Amino acid sequence: MEKLYRLVLATLCLSLLSIACNGQSHPSEPNAVYVDDYTESVPITADVDVQYIVILWLLPNGNYDAQVSVGSLSFSGSNCSPITTTSLYAIMETISDDAVAVALSHGYPSCGMSAWSKPFRVWVEECGIRSGTGCSTSFSPASGTGWGYRSYGLTCPGTGSPATVTQGGTTGDLCTGSESALYP
CA–CA gap between residue 170 and residue 151 (Å, rounded):
6
Q: Could you list the residue range(s) of the whole structural domain that residue 128 is in?
A: 2-180
The HSE-up count of residue 100 (CA atoms within 13 Å, CB side) is: 24
- Helix (H) and strand (E) counts for the chain? 2, 10
How many separate domains does the chain show? 1
- The residue count of the chain comes to 184
User: Tens of pLDDT along the chain (184 residues)?
Assistant: 454 444 444 444 443 333 444 578 999 999 999 999 999 999 999 999 999 999 999 999 999 999 999 999 999 999 999 999 999 999 999 999 999 999 999 999 999 899 999 999 999 999 999 999 999 999 999 999 999 999 999 999 999 899 999 999 999 999 988 999 999 8
